[in-house]
Amino acid sequence: MVKLLERLWPKNMSGQIALLVGIALLVAQGINFGLLVRARDRQELIQVAAPAIARLADAIERDAAGTPMIRERGPWLLRRGVVVEGKSRVTGDMPRREDIAERARVALHDLRVPVLRVEAAQAAGSAVRLPGHDRIAQLRDTIDPERRNNRPYLIVAAEVSPGRWVNLITRLPSRDPRFLGWLFLQTMILYFVVLAAVLWSVRRVARPLRELTGAVEGFRSAESSTLVPESGPSDVRRLVAAYNGMRTRIAGLLDEKDRMLGAIGHDLRTPLASLRVRAEGMEDEAERDRMAATIEEMNRTLDDILSLARLGRPSEPETRVDLSALLDQVVDDFQALGNTVSLADMPRTTVTIRPTLITRAVRNLVDNAVKYGGSAEVSVAKAEKGVAVLIDDNGPGIPEDKIEAMFEPFARLEQSRSRETGGTGLGLALAKAIALQHGGRLTLANRPEGGLRATLWLPG
């Protein structure tokens, strides 16, 4: 049940507010509906009970005073609707009205009218015999017996002495069968009017917030993003205005950073190129090769640093690419250099990616597998509404408590910083950043049979 509610519960703010307000209004309208029905019943009780009790008290006093009575075939008729008999007309099959009986007891006690017992019940017309003198009512009942049988009556009986009962019989007002329908319709109209106003207000707040969220998620640079229109309530407009101002400032800083990185890259590559030219002129071939390798390593490190710094704002558009062909090209390049790298058979799989960035991420992962595990096995598997690129090696693996630290820039398992035992520590950081930019993820895990597995998951 809890899981079902979690699935049905809206995830966005506007849906949650609308649902909560709708439930609260429904509960409030239900309570109001019940109170109105109860007030109607209470008003009916007052309208019926007050005159009936007054007539009963008057009849009891007349009976006690010995007022002359008219004899009509058995019962003593005191006045219209009241008879004196030897028993109560309230029978066991009649629905009791203890509320009216209690009111009658209290009223008679306050009026100092002595009675032994008071009973009250509601009965249908078919179970009630009216006092004989009510000729007009009897005539109407003869003409329309169905109306007589369906009409509700109230019987209040008071025992004034042992074996002597004063019975009062009066009609209850017929309830309009349309009352509950009209009341329900009125309640629903009010409910939907208020709910519509609340939904309009929520939508007015949610729309600029959705636009603001989209602008934040799509923010790359001053050129690629636009100002969010300021709309909605005043506090929401202030939030949007604050974002627009912040966007302009951050965009300026990012653009300035890109210009600075471009200048740094240019200024560093120029002397590196000059060093490469000078190294080519050295007579010692071994020393020349070492210097060339060092310069090439510095160029790769510089490329990694600049790529990682600029990754948040790629210039390459996303395209639909055959992932199997991309991986095959990467594996061929490593095999051409004499590395032990294999690619498992895989069906044709297309994904929407930035090919250059994904190629670089896969190269970094395969390079790490070759460097630390001696070989790499590349495969692809369908997983979680996407595709996973698996790179396995046969190396020593990584201690479990240090796996997450390996994704930090310049982090290395070997701390000596020697070029002979590892690179700069930027390969995994760059690969993870590329995966996150594509909405994917990169994980490392030690294999049970030994070695390490890098999993690059991309949405399908």
Domain with 429 in it: 314-459
**Residues 44, 178: one domain?**
yes
**Residues 87, 197: one domain?**
yes
* Residue-level pLDDT at 119: 92
* Residue-level pLDDT at 126: 60
Residue 445 domain flag: yes
**Residues 172, 320: one domain?**
no
**Residues 26, 141: one domain?**
yes
**Residues 194, 323: one domain?**
no
Q: Report the CATH number at residue 443.
A: 3.30.565.10
pTM listed for this prediction? 0.49
Considering its fold, how many domains does the chain have in total?
2
Residue 276 domain flag: no
**Residues 57, 192: one domain?**
yes
* Strand pairing report for 441-446 and 375-383: unpaired
Domain end residue (candidates: 217, 238, 253): 217
**Residues 452, 335: one domain?**
yes
* Residue-level pLDDT at 314: 59
Contacts of 223 (CB under 8 A, 6+ apart): none
* Residue-level pLDDT at 98: 87
Residue 144 domain flag: yes
Residue 294 domain flag: no
DSSP for 244-310, written as a single string: HHHHHHHHHHHHHHHHHHHHHHHHHHHHHHHHHHHHHT-S-HHHHHHHHHHHHHHHHHHHHHHHHHH
Domain end residue (candidates: 163, 197, 217): 217
Residue 228 domain flag: no
Domain end residue (candidates: 186, 217, 248): 217
Contact between residue 154 and residue 170 where contact means Cβ atoms under 8 Å apart: yes
Residue 222 domain flag: no
Contacts of 386 (CB under 8 A, 6+ apart): 440, 457, 458, 459, 460
Looking at residue 211, the DSSP 8-state letter turns out to be H
Residues 209-218: pLDDT tens digits? 888 888 777 7
**Residues 196, 328: one domain?**
no
Residue 275 domain flag: no
Instruction: List per-residue pLDDT tens for the chain, 460 residues long.
Output: 666 666 766 667 777 777 787 788 888 878 888 888 778 777 777 777 888 888 888 888 887 877 654 444 444 444 457 888 888 888 888 888 888 888 889 888 888 888 899 999 888 766 566 554 444 455 555 545 554 456 788 888 999 889 888 888 888 776 666 767 777 888 788 878 888 888 888 888 788 888 888 877 776 655 556 788 888 788 888 888 888 888 788 777 777 777 777 777 767 777 777 777 777 777 777 777 777 777 777 777 777 677 666 665 556 778 899 898 999 999 998 998 889 999 988 888 888 888 888 998 898 899 989 988 889 999 998 877 889 999 999 888 888 888 888 888 767 665 544 445 455 667 888 888 888 888 889 999 999 888 899 999 998 7
Report the distance separating Cα 74 and Cα 70, nearest Å: 10
* Strand pairing report for 441-446 and 452-459: antiparallel
Residue 23 corresponds to which tokens in the numbers above? 């439930």
**Residues 323, 209: one domain?**
no
**Contacts of 93-98 spanning 24+ positions with Cβ under 8 A:** 94/121, 94/122, 94/123, 94/127, 94/155, 95/121, 95/122, 95/123, 96/120, 96/121, 97/121, 97/122, 97/154
Residue 113 domain flag: yes
Task: List 343's β-bridge partners, or say none.
Answer: 378
